[in-house]
Structure 1
Amino acid sequence: MMPGGNWTWTDGTPLDFTDWDKGEPKNIKGNNCADQIINSGFWRSDDCYKTKPYICKVDKTFFDSPPQTTKYPIFANCPFPFIYFQPTHSCYGDGNFTGPLSWTLGEEHCQAFGAHLTSIHSPEEIAFLTCR
């Protein structure tokens, strides 16, 4: 997630859901990225250069070969280590996880898999990601 007057997702999807912690986002110089607080699940603004764990998200159709007649099957086999989440029709994973990375390097790593850092659009998506 990136600010620019308004916060936006790196994958270009609209910011149609937020789960900021109380007092967030803080408009402090250098806090231009966001992360999730593990204990509470709420979001906070943070320094983009801090290394953090991350999750990549890619539309399931990226892995379809050949194209299927049903665009989004109820069950989909996402390649390891990606896991399918039916409500978003997406696969979530960390690629070949290298350990915590900065926001920029995490996004670059996700893009190598045709993905982006995860954008979150519902409480159900947060619950799915939190239980991983």
Structure 2
Amino acid sequence: MKLLTHNMLTSKCIKGVSVGYPLAIKASDVRICEVDFNPDFVSRIIPKVDWPVLYNAAESIGQVEDLPKELSENYENDHNFLKKAHRVLLEVDVIDGELVCPESGRKFPISNGIPNMLLNEDEI
């Protein structure tokens, strides 16, 4: 599971959960998978990303490296920043672990890079 995907996941569909975001990550296997760098894509996706959540997710799995905690002004013209953002968004891959709802504590397994967000009938 890419951290870009994690940034968009929520568990607000669970009965009694109002926000369900951000999900905590407890990773048991994290890998770096190289992806071709596309600065245009990265600069266009950043406004859609919740940056503090992305930073905290990267930090929680030990992948923050020298990623800035806050977005810099004019980031779309900062090639060095775009490379760092690209790495954390698209190259860091959580292979196995779990996502945890911040409100209910419900755990969702991640297996072979795929988060299983299916709910039980009694949770709907």
The structure whose residues are more often helix, as a share, is: 2
Indicate whether the TM-score tops 0.5: no
Q: Which has the higher contact order (CA 8 A, sep 6+)?
A: 2
TM-score, length basis structure 1? 0.24
The structure whose residues are more often strand, as a share, is: 2
TM-score, length basis structure 2? 0.25
